[in-house]
Amino acid sequence: MSTIDAPERATPSIPGPPPRILLIQAPYYEAVVSGMRQGAERVLAGVGATLEVVDVAGAFELPAALRMALKAAPGEGGGGWDGFLLHGCVVKGETDHYQFICEAVCQGVMDISGETGVPLGFGLLTVENLPQAVARSSNDRHNKGAEAAHALLAQIGLARKWGVK
């Protein structure tokens, strides 16, 4: 772990009813992604958020699943979420696969975010090794799932402040 400590974050106050959140997770590294989800759950509990969780096969599937969720009609098995969390982990291996997956997923999510303005918390760990991923999914202030949840809540608050649906 680096000598730079992550900041303490207070759970933001957001106007309106408790938010409905969809977490799309790629649990290939189940212990890591579970730790990130637990970090997010702690943050979201602070605002009384409802969390629905769906799994996808791997990180590469995250952008497509987000697009499908955005198309889901409210009341028909989905839709109506106030925001989305994406969690996954890609560990560098011996081939270029890591680079291609990381770039594709990040660009896919950024494209959707820019096109739609949907409140989004992006928690994709891109690490050199598994110990780095474990350090970023532990029950402490370095938990990237919690950081993504904080970012998401801030975006939901901003959307509500500006009356954006």
Q: Residue 5 has what DSSP assignment?
A: P
Place 7 in a pLDDT band, splitting at 50, 70 and 90: confident
Is 97 labeled as catalytic in the residue annotation? yes
Dihedral, CA atoms, 31, 128, 26, 114, nearest 10 degrees?
A: 140
What's the pLDDT score for residue 120?
97
Q: How many CA atoms lie within 13 Å of 102's alpha carbon, on the beta-carbon side?
A: 15
102 is in an annotated binding site: no
61 is in an annotated binding site: yes
Is 111 a member of any domain? yes
Is 5 a member of any domain? no
Q: Which helix (H) or strand (E) holds 157?
A: helix 144-161
pLDDT tens digits for range 36-45: 999 999 999 9
The model's pTM is 0.93
Structural domain that includes position 38: 20-47+58-160
Is 7 a member of any domain? no
The more confidently predicted of residues 48 and 2 is 48
Distance CA 43, CA 34 (A): 14
For the domain that residue 112 is a member of, what is the CATH number? 3.40.50.960
Give how many domains the chain has, as a whole number.
1
Mean pLDDT, the chain, whole residue set? 93
Is 11 a member of any domain? no
Please identify which of the residues 87, 97, 142, 150 carries the catalytic annotation.
Answer: 97
pLDDT tens digits for range 74-102: 766 668 999 999 999 999 998 899 999 99
Is 76 a member of any domain? yes
Is 132 a member of any domain? yes
